A and B are shown apart, each in its own frame.
Chain A
């Protein structure tokens, strides 16, 4: 069953703790993206990667880190430096054979207690 999986679905974190969100895909897509979604603000790009072992900052990268050691995986770490991490996080992928569309995972809702 092809697709994008994100885990966990819900995540709770205490202030000052780092937490890692998982994103795995079996679509054989080269490009992967992380977005943050807050009510009324649409989607904001955190980081993206167009190839293994390479990634670029998006519009709101401060307080986040990523790695891309495998084509299938693009984990996002929310660090204690992120001042307001409570949000819905979405992972997306894109294949070069497409026409620009991105495919989205089901999302992870992070709540800082």
Chain B
């Protein structure tokens, strides 16, 4: 069974701090995606990474795909209260319509 493990499960920080959350697996993925979900809403796609070692930036968010395509990280610089939410990673293991989902990291950024 392919699994994606996300850590930490919960994170509470002050505005302005930096943070990194992780998405790890023992399996290789052809692509990995990150989503953010706000309470009571559906997840929203942030980014997809497809090449080992790839780094993508979205304003203050930096996403990295591991060289072996088994893991990914999300780094947020100078977190703001608007970054609060559940961050989910999801991977595609091949030519498959379904995604494998992590359980998420719940982030709270306090003003």
Q: Tell whether A pairs with B.
A: no
